[in-house]
Structure 1
Amino acid sequence: MSPEEISQRLELLRLEHRDLDAAIIALGEAGIPDQLQLARMKKRKLRLRDEIAWCEDQIVPDIIA
């Protein structure tokens, strides 16, 4: 993947992560939240965070001084 493609993917992942965060909050505030759905959404959010970290590492690699 080129740096431009990684940057575009990173922006999409961040957007999905924010949307999922808002959905988790809304579901949690429901009268009786669906615990299974909530757990799945939280797992998805964690996977997104890992993929975001990977993309960020590809754009700005670690340089050991």
Structure 2
Amino acid sequence: MFSVCFGLRRWLVIRENQAEKAVICLWSKRIGRAGCSLKTAFCTIFCCEISEGEAMLYKPVRN
């Protein structure tokens, strides 16, 4: 199963086994940041997963 994060009319799919990892929503041009969890993964633009100290950007996936 997958957790879905919606942003700019695009869906970002994140695997359920990564639900315990921290998720950060990146805003336009990194002007602001807001934290969010996969259980309530509604993000404005993109969701990034922080893994091993690095942020990995998930590419938008068409559904």
TM value normalised by structure 2: 0.20
TM value normalised by structure 1: 0.20
Greater helix percent: which structure?
1
| Bigger Rg over Cα | 1
